[in-house]
Amino acid sequence: MISVTEAWEHIDACAQALPAENVALDDALGRTLARSVCAYADQPAFDRSAVDGFALAAGQPERESYRLAGEILPGQPAPPAPAHGEALRVCTGSALPAGVAVVMVEDAVTDQTTVRFTATPDTSIVRRQGSSMRAGAALLGKGTSVGPGEIAVLASVGVHRPKVVRSARIVHLVTGSEIVPCSEQPAPGQIRDTNGPLLRALLAGPRCHIRQTLYADEAVDNALRVLDGIDFDLLLVSGGASVGPHDNTPALLQSLGFETVFHRVNVKPGKPLLFARSGNRLAFGIPGNPVSHFACAHLFIRRALARMAGRPPAELRAAALADGAPLRPDARECFWPARVSTDETGRATTAPLPWLDSGDIAALRGVDALVRLPGNREPPSTGATIHFLPLPTPAERALIQ
């Protein structure tokens, strides 16, 4: 049985960045730039007033008052510089001629025809052409994750259809004759499907999306019929991943032309995980319990999707172990559900949540970390430095809060 680290190495070796596409600027949010972006022009493109106020020729002797010779409205091209003894009214953002100084409106007294200043005209409250970026300067590198700031930068240089990595097309097949959709009342022995909604929620984002959740019983033929003609970059199969007589995911993936990369990882939860490839298409067979799904999605599937998006995968982070539910030692390396806080110095602390086993769905409430516990060791004590995989919190998933 391979270790988690070995499983990660296999995933890194198999998962290739998807092809690029041009998308509308709004749709680039959360995507990865497939091409670097330079400034096509200076930014600002012209000298602009940084304040509401008055512009006058710089370097002239100071006077008692100046004749008000007009106004530069935002959006107008810059007029010639005012003559000595004259001033122009300006707004924040007004285009300025070369060689002017500015006085803020707060430092001016004006009537209809003249203006007097209580402060010295200042050439530094002009936003100079190119002060934010110079034409030709590298702005955003290939591989940059596009957040709101990057969207604004792209807009400012007119890149309104940036080239980004294509979003991964995921198909999810839920297997098992005991599964009914969560809106139905299960008969005795049946259970509601939680893995469909869980994976759709975990993998809902601009870089990937579960296009279809399909249902089938254990029989390979039925699963093949359900999947017939459906295209995907990543196939996720829930249940049937183990080695029992009704565990048909290995046979299903083989029938679909996939080659097994690994099967079974020395990890808790998620031991029966299966990872397979067919060309650039990847597949995971995920053990059916919900906590196994949660952990496998964060530990392994997110990693494959990061590589497919042309991005580095999430890394484990250090934290202090806080008081929480008692940890149990295990022969396998374990990733324990936990909740992250920050102490008054800014240090992350992780409190383990109560957790029974891979079927304990209640343990998934409020989880925002999986704490790594090495196998065959006594659990760490409170205060010890541990490592954890950070998970996007519900608040962060909501983008704003």
Rounded to a whole number of angstroms, the distance between the first and last alpha carbons of the chain is 42
- At 26, the amino acid letter reads D
Number of Cβ atoms within 10 Å of the Cβ of 59? 11
CA distance 371 to 338: 6
CA distance 387 to 370: 9
Find, among 215, 271, 221, the residue nearest to 243 by Cα: 271
Q: Which is nearer to a copy of itself, 116 or 200 (CB)?
A: 200
CB of 9 to a copy of itself, least distance (A): 19
CB of 343 to a copy of itself, least distance (A): 8
Q: Which is nearer to a copy of itself, 85 or 93 (CB)?
A: 93
Q: Which is nearer to a copy of itself, 60 or 81 (CB)?
A: 81
Find, among 303, 314, 292, 266, the residue nearest to 364 by Cα: 292
Query: What is residue 136's DSSP assignment?
Result: T
CB of 62 to a copy of itself, least distance (A): 24
CB of 227 to a copy of itself, least distance (A): 21
CB of 234 to a copy of itself, least distance (A): 12
37-38 and 114-117 strand pairing: unpaired
CB of 203 to a copy of itself, least distance (A): 6
Q: Which is nearer to a copy of itself, 84 or 397 (CB)?
A: 397
Q: Which is nearer to a copy of itself, 14 or 60 (CB)?
A: 14
Could you please report the per-residue DSSP string of 293-341? Answer: HHHHIIIIIHHHHHHHTT-PPP--EEEEEPS-SPP---SSEEEEEEEEE
Q: Which is nearer to a copy of itself, 284 or 294 (CB)?
A: 294
Sign of the dihedral defined by the CA atoms of residues 209, 271, 223, 14, in that order: positive
Helix (H, G, I), strand (E, B) or coil at 200: helix
CB of 140 to a copy of itself, least distance (A): 7
Q: Which is nearer to a copy of itself, 60 or 320 (CB)?
A: 320
